[in-house]
Every structure is written in structure tokens, then in C-alpha cells.
Amino acid sequence: MMLLMYQTAYTGTLVRTPYNPLVVQELRGTLEEFKDVFENNFDTGWFNSVLDKTAFDASALRDLRLMAAHPDVSLEDLSTIHNGLESLAFFLDFTKRYIQPFLRDLMGVSGFRPAFVNNEEARTIKAMKSMFIYTFPHNLERLEKVYSELKSCFILLN
């Protein structure tokens, strides 16, 4: 890892640091954005049940949860972020290939599945699942954008 020298604004002295504080600040903000997108849209009960129906690697999901749980950036967290980025690349590829085309079927909202029992609760659940399916491509696009930002910040740190 490259050591960078920068001048502190308060004392005017040169400080040795393993990373640029501006990049670290941007990385922290991007990690917060990742946490927001991931936890609100992909680490949900419905989506986890979809992942359970597929051959998705549970260790990749664990790495993503660890990366979302570490908003601080230090030397110890860089390996967690690196593993999380690799898992996020796998997650995005797997989701685009094997989940997005079949999401309606996997969530039981497809027209090819037997109809729900005709009661208020079943209609509400079907409407909520349909809304999740409708917003899924947009949320996946947001996650891809966050991935590219995280990757560029991580490259600047190394």
C-alpha cells in the first residue's frame, strides 16, 4: 500500500498516512449509500427467500453484510471492503443472470402460478410483491452505480 504525504490544515505539518483523507471521506459516504441501498432493497425477507431458492453462495451474502456493517475505513477494514467488493460483483452478476429474468416466478406473482386465495391479506401481499418486482431493476441499477463508485474509491486507496 502506498503511503501518501499531506499537509494538515490546522498545524501545517506533514503527516504520513496510508491513504488520502479526501478519498477516505468519499469512501465512507459511498459505504453509507451502499448500506442504505443494500439493506433497504436487497437484504429483505422476500429477497432472501428468493436467494434461498437459488444456488447463491451464502458466504457472499455474509461478506456484503459485513461490508454494510463497517462504515468506518481503517487499515483493518480494507480487507473486509475488498472481500465485500468481490462479493458485490458476484451478487450483481448472479442477480442479473439468474434472478431478475425469473423474479416474478420466484416470488409467486407470475400469471403461470396458481391464483392467491381471494382475501384482503393475500391481495395486499401480492400488491407489495408486485411493487418490489416493479422497483427491482431501478434498485439493481442503483446498486451497480454504488459498486462502481466503491471500486473507484478503493482503487484510489491502493
Q: Distance (Å, rounded) from C-alpha 6 to C-alpha 152?
A: 21
Is 2 inside a domain boundary? no
Domain of 108 in residue numbering reads as 20-157
pLDDT, tens digit (0-9, with 9 covering 90-100), for 122-144: 778 888 888 999 999 999 999 99
pLDDT at residue 118 greater than cutoff 80:
no
Is 133 inside a domain boundary? yes
pLDDT, tens digit (0-9, with 9 covering 90-100), for 85-103: 999 999 999 999 999 999 9
The count of domains in the chain is 1
Percent of the chain surpassing pLDDT 70: 81
pLDDT at residue 17 greater than cutoff 60:
no
Paired residues of 4 in beta bridges: 17
**Would you state the pLDDT for residue 46?**
83
Is 13 inside a domain boundary? no
**Would you state the pLDDT for residue 116?**
53
- In the structure grid, which three cell numbers stand for residue 44, read together? 429483505
Backbone dihedral angles phi then psi of residue 121, each to the nearest 5 degrees: -65, -45
Q: Distance (Å, rounded) from C-alpha 124 to C-alpha 10?
A: 57
